[in-house]
Amino acid sequence: MYQIDFNKPCRVHFIGIGGISMSGLAKLLLDRGFTVSGSDFKKSELTEELESLGLAVSYCQQAQNINNSIDFVVYTAAVHEDNPELAAARTAGIRILTRAELLGQVMTNYKTAVNVAGTHGKTTTSSMIAEILLGAGKDPTVSIGGILDRIKGNFRVGNSDIFLTEACEYTNSFLSFHPTVNVILNVEEDHLDFFKDLNDIRHSFKLFTERLPENGTLIINSDIDNIAYFYRDARCQNVITVGSNPECSMYSACDITYNSLGLCSYTLIKNQEKICTVSLGVPGEHNVYNSLAAIACGELLGISLEDIKEALLAFGGTKRRFEYKGTLMPNHAVIIDDYAHHPAEIAATLNSAANYPHNRIWCIFQPHTYTRTKAFLDDFARVLMKADVVVLADIYAAREVNTLGVSSAQLRDKITEMGGVCHYFQSFEEIQQFVRENAVNNDLLITMGAGNIVEVGENLLSAKI
């Protein structure tokens, strides 16, 4: 694998530069003096920001974008081998790195590299940790999978020896990383277009843990089945547990309460002793357990509990995580947007919504990928039943072609058979019209999914039908 000399900046080209992680890495290399260019299929806020920094971005991926002045090329897992730019780079003999390989090499420049992993909760928890580090003046470099108001984006270049990032298991990306602190929030079935089954996923998380050095630290959720499996063969000696059971968790919580906006407060338990009350600026019991991991990480890095508590209260979430979008008029219905696309995430979001002021809860859901929809069809139906009204959009294909014959109509039929209220529409325009005609005062409308379903709420609020 090509090794970058960060002391000798050169020219790099990103294929898929508009991705949330790729755009951040492009900014980091630009800050270090590299000459950066890239391509993507369409303009976005992220690509426009890159252009404002002086990066050359092409919105047509073609072989002509590759020439011999480029020293190395970076590409994402979403880029296929027949991509014209990737093919041209290989033909020209230009050195090539995956996004994960580049991110792993970046980590080697930092004394402390915190990697937040898990099937879900990565963005929120890494954002909590970022808020804690920034509030304590630690000046970290941060790369997260969402937009955080505190850093006005998804990436921040700091001047300390701390690097914080999300570690995604898809295509085993995190096995290219060089962490010193691993946070594992949960290990569940997902990305079954790549992994064979849950055991395959668990094995990857075990290998991820084994990448920790001897003086590294693992922070892991004790609610995960047989957690010793992940670290018993690892070199690192320091394991910190967080979870719902104080008898087997160094950090736990009790006495969880909710205020009028569904925001949580709880009693922090450390080593089975009640320590203090922690109040969060985000809703949902799942965020109690995300915050326990953030607290454990903050204390590990020498931050006082008082500073940690202050940061957690100040943290109001990231974009597309139970994000308030506005109130629909004249219906007087509140619109929330959420990135949830896995059954466990949907359940957590709808449980959070139950503690938020509402008349009826609407879930306007766009399934994400055919393989995930097929694998979890029954689970999706079960958790969506938590909403009073379910409205389904067509499946967002992302990187896939529908070879499985699965559809949102099948999911609608499952929910209806279970006694739920569910409607399916093939276009956003039909969904928006239905909402306009049927939402009433104090209804809570949640647009949900990892695709472009957020546009439904935004169109409603801007009166686009």
In the set 47, 76, 123, 180, the catalytic residue is: 123
The yes-or-no answer on residue 437 being catalytic is no
Angle at 157 between CA 291 and CA 124, to 5 degrees: 20
Helix ranges restricted to H, 136-213: 198-209
C-beta of residue 231 within 8 angstroms of C-beta of residue 218: yes
The DSSP-derived string for 314-370 is H----TTSSEEEEEETTTTEEEEEE---SHHHHHHHHHHHHTSS-SSEEEEE--B-H
Helix axes 343-354, 377-384, angle to 10 degrees: 0
How many other CB atoms are found less than 10 A from the CB of residue 327? 12
How many other CB atoms are found less than 10 A from the CB of residue 441? 9
Q: Give me the count of residues in the chain.
A: 465
State both tokens at 273: 């002793």
The yes-or-no answer on residue 122 being catalytic is yes
Q: Is 402 exposed, middle or buried (0-12, 13-18, 19+ CB in 10 A)?
A: middle
The yes-or-no answer on residue 166 being catalytic is yes
Q: CB-side exposure of 369: number of CA atoms within 13 Å?
A: 16
C-beta of residue 39 within 8 angstroms of C-beta of residue 58: yes
In the set 85, 166, 323, 345, the catalytic residue is: 166
Rounded to the nearest 10°, the torsion over CA 264, 266, 270, 274 is 170
Going by C-alpha positions, the residue among 283, 244, 245, 292 that lies closest to residue 264 is 283
C-beta of residue 464 within 8 angstroms of C-beta of residue 427: no
Residues 6+ apart with CB under 8 A from 138: 158, 160, 162, 301, 303
In three-state secondary structure terms, 279 is: strand
In the set 27, 122, 270, 325, the catalytic residue is: 122
- Which neighbouring-strand residues pair with 327? 334
Residue at token pair 């991991």? 293
Kind plus residue range of the DSSP H or E element containing 16: none
User: Residue 90 is which amino acid?
Assistant: R
The residues assigned a catalytic role are: 122-123, 166
